[in-house]
Amino acid sequence: MLTGHFCYVPFCGGYATLPQSSTTQKMPVTKALYAKENMQLISPHIPLGITLEQGLEILKSVSPDIEYSEEESFYKVTTDSFSCGFYEKNKMVSSTWFDDTLGRDSDNGLNLKVTLYLERYGEIPDWEDGVNNGWIQFFTNAKSGVDLAYGIHKDVIRFNQTSI
């Protein structure tokens, strides 16, 4: 269960769970600047553990121009709004990577964006906050076998499958 770094903020018809880091000011629990339905991720969901071919099909749905780093076994596409990609291990998607500036106009927006990404890879109550080294915040979801790391600007987000 998340402790310390999350607060529940009311939005239209419910609550949004927003990550808080030591570098982010706590938000008042009485108001939210974003309604959850007004912020949507436009990057594709790239499930962890899918085959290399399935991952490439997802990237091709964004752009036919797929960049590849042989050194890192990393595939990536870039658009005007975001970049996304994945790392491959044994012909399976082992990690996903998103560089997404969505919500950058406020701390609330950035926190909600991270929450929306967390929801892609597990239930919010299953995420546990981990180390924050001042540059990177880590979260773990033992139930789904996924770890998350994001930088202090909350633009670059990476999910790692711990069982591959």
Range of the domain at 128: 6-35+44-161
Domain count, the chain: 1
pLDDT digits over 43-94, tens only? 999 999 999 999 999 999 999 999 999 999 999 999 999 999 999 999 999 9
* 137's tokens: 């915040």
Whether 1 is in a domain gets the answer no
Whether 118 is in a domain gets the answer yes
Computed over every residue of the chain, the mean pLDDT equals 81
* 42's tokens: 């436009």
* 31's tokens: 């108001």
Whether 55 is in a domain gets the answer yes
pTM, two decimals, is 0.76
Whether 143 is in a domain gets the answer yes
Q: What is the DSSP string of 31-86?
A: --SS-GGG----SPP--TT-BHHHHHHHHHTT-S--EEETTTTEEEEE-SSEEEEE
